[in-house]
Structures are given as C-alpha cells and as structure tokens.
Amino acid sequence: MDFPLFHLDWLNDRFLIAMIAIIHVFINHGLAVGFLPYITLLEQQGVVKSGPEDITDLAWDKMVQRMMMVGFVITTTMGAMTGVGIWFSAALISPNSIGSLIRVFYWGWFTEWIVFVSEVVFIMIYFLTWKNSNKSLRAKQRHIRFGWFLSAFSWLTMAIIVAILGFMMDPGNWVEDQSLLSALTNPIYLPQLLFRTPTAMVVAGAFGFLLIMLFTKKDSPIRPTALKTTATWVLLWLPMSILASIYYYNVIPEAMTANMSTAVGTMDFAKYYDLLKYIILIATSSLALLAIWTLWKPKKVNLIIVIIPFVLSLGFLGIFERVREFIRKPYVIGNYMYSNLIREEDYPLLQRDGILKHSTYTSITEITEENKLEAGKDVFMIACSRCHTSQGINSIIFVFEKMYGEGKPLDINSMKAYIPNMHNGRTYMPPYPGNEEELDALAHYIFYLQQSGATLEGAQSAGAHLNPTHSVEHFIEQKTKQQ
Amino acid sequence: MNNTPLPKDIPLDLPLPEWLLVILLVVSFLAHIVFVNLMVGGSIATLWAEIKGLRNKEYDILAQEIAATITVNKSLAVVLGVAPLLSINALYTIYFYTANSLTGIMWILIIPMVAIVFLLTYLHKYTWEAMANMKLLHIAINALAVAMFLFIPLIFLVNVNLMLFPEKWMSVRGFLSALALPNVFPRYFHFICASLALTGLFITWYMGRKNYPFEEYFQVFTRAKVKRIGYQLALGASVAQFLFGPIVMATLPAKGFSWSMMSVILSGVAVAVYAVYYMIKTLRGSDADLNKYFRRIVISMSIVVVFMGSGRHVYRANALNPHRELMAQKTAEFEQASKEAREQALNKQAEANEAIAAAEASGDNTAKGKAVFNNYCAACHKETSLLVGPPVTEMKEIYTDKKADLIKWIKSPGKKRPDAPQMPPFPQINDTDMEDLTQYILNIK
C-alpha cells in the first residue's frame, strides 16, 4: 500500500528471509554464543593438562586456536553479514512491520548494537592476541579470563535480541501501552532464552566434534582427550536443552497453540509436522549417542559418525525457527499487524472503501470490466503476495487446487464465497482486507493466473505505478480547494 | 502532472526527538564510513603494492602489512554500519525502503557479495606464505576482492541517492535505471577518492607508530619512504576531490540547495585547502620533519569529514522536508478516516445484534445460529447446494437427533468424501455459539 512491493515470484518472499535468518542462527548459536565458552574451556584445559614447566600444551593449544580461527572467520564474514541480511531482507519483504518494530525497539536495538560492537572488538582481541599470550603464564591466564568475559558478553547480545523475537510472537501488553519495557517483559521471553542458551551450547559441541576431527590426525594423542571433553560438554547441556524445549512449548499462549493445531489439522501439515518432531528426537538422541560412544571408545570415533549428528542438530535448530515463525500467523506483529502488512485497526476502513483506494502504488482508481485483471493483480500484490506466489512455492493456484481439486478449472464464485470467510476456518490466514469489487477482481485474476500460467513481477523489475489520487500534486490541489 | 508519490508514513511516533536521531545518524554514519574507506582504500593500496612487489620484494612486504589491517577495518566497518542503518530506517522509513525495493535484487545481493569479498580478504591474507610460489594467482584473489569492493559501494550510493528523489521513483525500473540518475557516478568517484586519501593518512600513521616494529619487516625501505608513500596517496586523492567535488555539486538536483548547506560545504572546502597545503609542505620538507604537521593534517581532515557529512545531511533534510511535511498531514488524515470507519463498523455490529435480538423476540430461534454459520461455515457450505462441502440440508438429514455427533465432527472432522477436501477443524467455536449453530443447521427448511 505504502511501498512499491518487492516480490520473488518463484522462490517466495518468506523463503528469502528464512534462508538468511536460519544461516545466521546456526552461526550465531553454534560458532559464537555456544562456541566461545566451549573454546575458552578447551584453552583452559590445555594449561591445566600441561606440565609444571610449560605454559600450555602447545599441540593442544594450536588445535584450539585453529578451531577458534574457523569460528572467527565465519562469524566475522557470513555471521555478521547474515545478521545485517535479516534487516535487509525484512525491509524488502515486510517494510511496514520492520519499520514499525524499529520505532518501538530503537533503544533495544541500539543497546544491542553497542553490545555487538563490543563483542566484535572483543572477539578480534581474543583471537588476534592468542599467539602473543603464549609467551608467559600470566598472559595466558589473562587471555583465558578474557575468553570467559567474552562468552558472557556474547550471551548478552543474544539475551537482548531474543526479547525482540519474543515480542514479535506475543506483544504482551504492548498493544495497550506501546512502551519498550512492556515489550521486553513479554511472557515468552524467559522461556525462549532458557531454550536457546543450552541449545547453543549443544550445537557448539556438534561443531566442536567436527572441527576436532578435521584438525587432529587419526593417531594424535590429543584427539581422544579433546573428543571426550566435547562429549562431556554435550551431555551436560543436552538434558537442559530438551527440558527447556518442552517448557517453551508449554508456555506458548493458548491462542497460538490452538492456531498451531489448526495448521497441524490439515493432512499435509500433520505429516510434515510429525516428521519435524521425529527429527528433533533423532537429532538429540544421535548427539547423546555420539557423546556416550565417545566417552566409551574415544579412539573409535570417525568423521561420518560425527557429521550425521552435526547435520541433524542444525536441522533441530532450523525446525525450531520454522515453528516459531509459523505460530506467529496470521500476524506479523501479534494483534497489531497482519502478515499482509495491514494493521488490524485499519480493516474497517479498507473493507468499506477497498484497499486500492488507499494504496499509493496502483494505477486503478475505479474497477471496470476492462481493468478488472489489472485491479485483481494489484489486490493480489497487496493482500496476498507476502506469502503466496503466482506459480512458484506456496502459489495461490496450488493452495486453491488443493482445496477444489488438482487440475480442475477454479470456480470464480466459489473463491468469492471462500475468501471473505477463510480466516475463520484457516486461522493462520489474515482476514480478507478489501471490498466486494476487489474480491471479484481478485477471483478473476486468480482464475486468469491458473489458466494462463502468468507470473507476477515485483517492483524490483517492473517498477511501480502511481495512484493519481496519492500524488503530491493531487494532495496540494485538494488543499487549494479547501481554501 | 501527477508523478510524485505521497504515501502515508508508519503511524507510530519516532523513538526519540528528531534532532537527536539526526545527530546519531550523522555521527554513527561517519564512524562507519571511515572504516569503509579504510577497507576499500586499503584493498586498492594492497593490490597496487603487491603488483609492484613482483619486481621489488619490499613492496610485497608493504602489501602484506596493509592487507593485515583490512580484515580488522572491515569488521569494524560492518558492525559500525548497523547504527546508521537503524537510524536511517527510523528517520526516513518510507524513502529508504522504497529505494531498497525499487533496486531490490541488487540491494539484497549486497549480503552474499560482502560475505564473499570478506572471505576473499581472509583467504588472501592467510595464504600469503602458502601461495608465495603462485604469486599471480594470489594477486588475482585480491584483484577479485578489489573489483567487488569497488562495485558494492555503487549499490549503496544508488539507494541513498534514489531515496532523496520521490519524483523519480515512478521512472525507475530496477537497479540499472536507478544507476543512470545523473549524480550517482560523481558521488561514487568522490567516495573512492575519499577512501584513498584516508588510506594514505592511515598508512602514514600505522607504519610510522613508535611501537610498530618497522625494522623487523623491512630491509631496504625506511619509515620515511613508507610515510612519503602514504602522504603522496593522501595528497593525490585530496587534490582529485577538488575536481570531483564541483561535479557532485553541479549534478545534484537544485531542490536540496540552501545557503546553510553551501556554507557548511564551503567551510569544509576551506579546511581541506588548509590540509592540502600542509601535506605539500610536509612532502617538500626533509625526512626529519615528516611528523611535524601530521596531527594538524589529521585533525583538519577529520573536520573536513564532519563538514562534508553534515552538509550531506543538510542537503538531504532540505530535499525531503517539504515532502515529509505533506506526508505527515496525509498520515494524520488517514488515521482520522480509519478511526471513523472503526466507529462506523462498531455501530453496524450493534445494529446487527439488535436485528438478531428482534428476530429472536419474534420467535425465530435460528437467527443467532445463522450469524455464526455465516462467519465460520459459509465459505464452503451453502444452504441447499454443494459448494466445497455438502449443503446444510444434507447435514440435517445425516445428523437429525444426533447433535452431539455433529458438534464432535465440527470440532474435529475426519475425511468422508473422496471428491471433497478435508474440512478444517473448528475448536475455537465456543459452546454457546456451537449451540446456536447446530440449532440453525438442524432446523433448516
């Protein structure tokens, strides 16, 4: 409505955000928040296990430093950029919601930024002073203390960002008083933090297993010791991660659970969702098995049995993010803005006047027989395109054919009867925001999409059309008339 | 002539007073851009020195020393970029996001491109010894990084430029057409020269520091020689700014100009002249005096950066403020209309409730249930004919005297008909509504 809309008509807009966000979470949890205390622990172990004459076990220390280098390089390249990328992609796909969130959470994010700047500086200091700190025991001990300090800092950045994520799922009292404090104290905050903390540690352990296998030789004496430390680390955190995930699910507000079960109620999703539950079960138990096996027979650990739980634990994390995103529907900001970027409170106006009348970027001022398809296209872009494509992933044709029969020509009247009420049956869908004429145009356009196989170009290539009643010139003309 | 869009703004207050947001934006942006300059300029200087290093080993060492700083500067450049991004998003939401959207593909490609170019700089830095026998390939890695470092700023410039001109938005079709707007390239060259000038001063400082173990690295080069290289780079690039600066001014659309903006920019120019004078004086002086004016030059160049950054903001504010003012009025009008429509809808709802009550009073015990039906069921069911699911008359036939079964089905349906999709469950319908609904269904005529 207020923005020319970027749209990826095959990949699906949500997929872009999801892809970037999930890579970021993997790196953030696995190679920063969980990884830093894990690496510091290993560094400390090197000092403890070395002889009284030595500062540290040099071969061991070299291995730990190389592991840290992987964490350092990946977090300061892909980790940092995917973090920025979440903003970039959210600004493209969901400008109204990210624009609103920034206005509410400016200070939260600003604080986050200060902590984040410090974190990057500290990580650089920690990694780049590693070599020099090996010159004396005192320097080494100071380096290790710095590592613990850095770990706490890294956790703090996560603690702040989780408040923002929690808010987006359930704004608590924010809709009433719109203050930052009430958003930060929303009811899902602590459970989510409780879940993410041990899970980050577990995923870091999975990264640790993999890196030890890569950076030590088969017959190296340090490999079994390092693997056993990692196994203990994983076994320590894993039960907490499992318990926290159960707790987390139990406190998700009633409405959201009901909503989730509605989605699960569809046959396709039920199958998919069951699969997800199994992956979580398999991922956690495979990691537990690997850890127990490592403690029992540390010399009989090979790359393959390390890689499998590693991949599965990444899947575990990805699924959690997926569910977290899904239970937000039909809102993008709970009880305030729907996932089509329209505020709940503006619905009466838009349903009365139509959405096109209040849209800056459409060429249609009045729907006629001639411009009906064009109008339908604009309605689709505004009301549907944030989640649906024309022919690609989660396409509008796919979802209607699933309901009315695959390959059968869609019935315009059925769609017109269905769309205004769909949110009652499919509670993850926002209500239809437009008026009757627009509904007619939309249904015709969807039928046209099915029959023609046409696609829909976003503003990034097609540009935008201006609604003549939403121009500066028109606005000033209206003001002139009032004089 | 209708060509300047006037959207409504995000209808939430700014998170802090506008003047404070502006200060945060300008200050944090300058901190960010200084490290971006050092990162881009550093990679260009490294490429130049490593190529020269093919013939003279000392230049190769110089290249390696500059390269070691790029990865640190780039980490700071990224992390310091978050605050100005946050501030510009808050202050110019509509303008910035619209520009992003209109150049969307290229805008989002910034993310993978920057990640890749960072990985390339690490690869280049950490393979210096390992690739000593594959020097050309090693240089090629950095050449690719430099090419990307030179391209990525163009995307940012296109966006910060496009956001200033709503009157051009309707003519833009993707990144390339936005790139063709007249003042993108002058601003771009202005940025590149600034990068080189800052990098020159940075090299002079970094390798001239007392605790920098210069003699451990270099056999032939002296500190004076390297400092002179830095000064020359800074001087050359600064002088070039006197060419690009006027071109930038000449190609900027008139709408953002004002005396205040011009006085800020011209003050900056005056200070720049002062800095250039002392750079020349230093280079013409003896090696012993190379540090004599360094502080003076750095301080005056910092002042130049602050003046230019402020001038840039004054232009932006001038260019956009009239439009923002109109947008605020329009947003208020929309909010008012939305409020009225909400009240109207509430009245309508009250009338509908009254109508149901009246119908009930006159003995119609299905009116309430029909309303529930229209809400939840009418999308797929009609009274007498098949839509997505069976008609209500058929439900009545099946469930007469089996109300409990009907309620159970509605709350969690199974799949009976091969030719119809499975019905979604409705656990959210409460007991009173359910009672009314089944009353309606089982009494249909």
Number of domains in chain A: 2
Domain contains A357 = yes
- A89 shares contact with chain B (CB less than 8 Å): yes
Round to whole Å and give the CA distance between A399 and B444: 31
Residue that finishes a domain, picked among A285, A317, A338? A338
Verify whether the Cβ–Cβ distance A82 to B338 is below 8 Å: no
Cβ-nearest to B102 among A20, A262, A463: A463
Same domain, A50 and A196: yes
Do residues B275 and B305 lie in contact, with contact meaning Cβ atoms separated by under 8 Å? no
Shared domain check, A70 and A38: yes
Residue where a domain stops, chosen among A338, A368, A398: A338
Residues of chain B in contact with residue A81, where contact means CB-CB under 8 angstroms, are 78, 111-112, 114-115, 118
**Minimal Cα distance from B374: which residue of A?**
A421
- Residue A267 pLDDT grade (very low, low, confident, very high; cuts 50, 70, 90): very low
Nearest CB neighbour to A117, from listed B5, B79, B172: B79
Q: Predicted ipTM? A: 0.91
Enclosing H/E stretch for A338: strand A337-338
Q: Across the interface, which of B78, B376, B382 has its CB nearest the CB of A424?
A: B376
Neighbouring CB atoms inside 10 A of A452's CB total 11
Window 38-57 of A, Cβ < 8 Å to B: none
Q: Tens-of-pLDDT digits for all 445 residues of chain B?
A: 568 999 999 999 998 999 999 999 999 999 999 999 999 999 999 999 999 999 999 999 999 999 999 999 999 999 999 999 999 999 999 999 999 999 999 999 999 999 999 999 999 999 999 999 999 999 999 999 999 999 999 999 999 999 999 999 999 999 999 999 888 999 999 999 999 999 999 999 999 999 999 999 999 999 999 999 999 999 999 999 999 999 999 999 999 899 999 999 999 999 999 999 999 999 999 999 999 999 999 999 999 999 999 999 999 999 999 999 999 999 999 999 999 999 999 999 899 888 888 887 887 778 888 888 888 888 788 888 887 788 888 888 889 888 888 988 888 887 777 777 778 778 778 888 888 898 889 888 7
Rounded CA separation B189/B247 (Å): 10
Q: Does A79 touch chain B (CB under 8 A)?
A: no
CA distance A340 to chain B (A): 15
Domain-embedded: residue A59: yes
Q: Which two tokens stand for residue B426?
A: 């409705």
| Element holding B268 (H helix, E strand) | helix B259-284
Residue pLDDT, tens place only, A411-431: 898 898 889 888 877 778 899
- Both A141 and A285 in a single domain? yes
Would you mind telling me the total number of residues written for chain B in this entry? 445
DSSP state of B5: B
Residue A435 pLDDT: 95
Select from B1, B83, B86 the Cβ nearest to the Cβ of A102. Answer: B86
Decide if B13 and A103 are in contact by the 8 Å CB cutoff.
yes
Q: Which residues pair with A471 in a beta bridge?
A: B5
Smallest CA-to-CA distance from A200 within A25, A68, A367 is with: A25
Q: Which of residues 348-367 of A touch B (CB under 8 A)?
A: 348-349, 352-353, 358, 360-361
- CB of A76 less than 8 A from some CB of B: yes
Using a 10 angstrom Cβ sphere, with 0-12 exposed, 13-18 middle and 19 or more buried, the burial of residue A135 is exposed
**Interface contact flag, B75 A80, Cβ < 8 Å:** yes
Q: Which of A309, A338, A367 is the last residue of a domain?
A: A338
Half-sphere exposure (CA, 13 Å, Cβ side) for A458? Answer: 27
In a domain, B189, yes or no: yes
DSSP string, A111-137: HHHHHHHHHHHHHHHHHHTHHHHTT-H
CB neighbour list of residue A469: distance below 8 Å, 6 or more residues apart: A357, A365
B7 falls within a domain: no
Considering the domain boundaries, does residue A36 fall inside one? yes
Q: What is the mean pLDDT of residues A266-295?
A: 76
pLDDT over threshold 50, residue A263 = no
A306 with A367, same domain: the answer is no
Nearest C-alpha in B relative to A5: B101
- Top residue of B25, B39, B102 to mutate, by most chain A CBs within 10 Å, is B102
Enumerate the residues of chain A whose CB falls inside 8 A of the CB of residue B412.
265
Residues A174 and A253 in one domain: yes
Place of tokens 């349906």: B413
Dist. CA A141–CA B350, nearest whole Å:
73
Distance CA B76, CA B39 (A): 9
User: Which residue range forms the structural domain that includes residue A422?
Assistant: 345-476
HSE, side-chain direction, 13 A CA sphere, residue B266: 7
Interface of A with B in 233-262 (CB under 8 A): 258, 261-262
Together in a domain, A427 and A464: yes
Whether A45 is in a domain gets the answer: yes
Percentages helix, strand, coil for chain A, rounded to the nearest 5? Answer: 75, 0, 25
The two structure tokens encoding residue A448: 């046209």
Tell me: do B232 and B371 sit in the same domain: no
Residues A356 and A329 in one domain: no
- Asked if A16 and B108 come within 8 Å (Cβ–Cβ), the reply is yes
> Tell me: the pLDDT tens digits for B425-442?
787 788 888 888 988 898
Residue B359 domain flag: no
Same domain, B282 and B381: no
Chain B contact set for A361 (CB, 8 A): 5, 7
**Nearest by Cα to A381 from A350, A341, A417:** A341
Q: Residue A365's closest CA among A376, A357, A355?
A: A357
pLDDT in tens, A433-478: 999 999 999 999 999 999 999 999 999 999 999 999 999 999 999 9
Tell me, yes or no, whether B4 lies in a domain. Answer: no
Strand partners, A333: A337
Count of domains forming chain B: 2
Q: How many CB pairs under 8 A join A and B?
A: 257
**Chain B residues with CB inside 8 Å of A360's CB?**
5-8
One domain, residues B330 and B392:
no
Residue A268, in any domain of the structure: yes
CA dist A348 and A352 (Å) reads: 6
Average pLDDT, chain A: 87
Residue B346 domain-assigned (yes or no): no
Residues B138 and B237 in one domain: yes
Residues of B in contact with A102 (CB under 8 A): 15, 86, 89-90, 93
Q: What was the pLDDT predicted at A322?
A: 72
Q: Which residues of B touch A473 (CB under 8 A)?
A: 1-4
Instruction: Please give the Cα distance from A220 to A227 (Å, whole number).
Output: 12
CATH number for the domain including A408?
Answer: 1.10.760
Six-digit token string for B285:
């002086």
Q: Are residues A277 and A261 in the same domain?
A: yes
Tens-digit pLDDT profile for residues A241-259: 888 877 876 666 554 555 4
Tell me if B201 is assigned to some domain.
yes
Is B10 within the bounds of a domain?
no
Question: Does residue A8 sit within a domain?
Answer: no
Name the residue among A272, A313, A276 with its Cα closest to residue A291. A313
**B424: nearest CB among A4, A426, A460:** A426
| Distance between A447 CA and the closest CA of chain B, angstroms | 17
Is a pLDDT exceeding 90 seen at residue A59? yes
Instruction: Tell whether A4 is covered by a domain.
Output: no
CATH number for the domain harbouring residue B400: 1.10.760.10
Average pLDDT of A200-218? 94
Nearest CA in chain B to A474: B2
For B146, the domain range is 18-335
Q: Indicate whether A130 and A203 sit together in one domain.
A: yes
pLDDT at position A265, please? Answer: 40
Is B93 within 8 Å of A267 when comparing Cβ atoms? no
| Inter-residue contact A460 to B103 (CB < 8 Å) | yes
How confident is residue A276, by pLDDT bands cut at 50, 70 and 90? low
Interface test with B, best of A8, A256, A346, A435 (most B CBs within 10 A): A346
A367 closest CA partner among A377, A375, A378:
A375
In 3-state terms, what secondary structure has residue A395?
strand
Torsion angle in degrees (nearest 10) through CA of B68, B70, B71, B73: 120
DSSP A266-311: SHHHHHHHHHHHHHHHHHHHHHHHHHHHHHH-GGG--HHHHHHHHH
**Using the beta-carbon criterion (under 8 Å), do A348 and B344 form an inter-chain contact?**
yes
Taking contacts as CB-CB distances below 8 angstroms, the residues of chain B near A98 are 89
User: Could you report the per-residue pLDDT of A24-46, keeping only the tens digit for each?
Assistant: 999 999 999 999 999 999 999 99
Q: Do B426 and A358 touch (CB under 8 A)?
A: no
Specify whether B225 is located in the same domain as B370: no
Confirm whether A320 is domain-assigned: yes
One domain for residues A294 and A354: no
User: What are the φ/ψ torsions at residue A471 (nearest 5 degrees)?
Assistant: -105, 160
Is residue A269 pLDDT above 60, yes or no?
no
Looking up tokens 């979440």 gives A86
pLDDT given for residue A104 in this prediction: 82
Residue B347 lies in a domain: no
- Best residue in A11, A28, A92, A358 for a mutation probing chain B (most B CBs within 10 Å): A92
Mutate to test the interface with B, among A16, A74, A84 (most CBs of B within 10 A): A84
CB contact under 8 A, A349 and B338: yes
Residues B208 and B256 in one domain: yes
Percent of chain A at pLDDT above 70?
Answer: 88
Window A:2-21, CB contacts with B under 8 Å? 2-6, 16, 20
Q: Of the candidates A84, A95, A460, which has its C-beta nearest B82's C-beta?
A: A84
Asked if the bond preceding A430 is cis, omega within 30° of 0, the reply is no
Are A322 and A407 members of one domain? no
Q: Do A37 and A186 fall into the same domain? A: yes
Residue B169: its chain A contacts at CB < 8 A?
4, 464
Could you say which of A117, A128, A265 has the minimum Cβ distance to residue B425?
A265
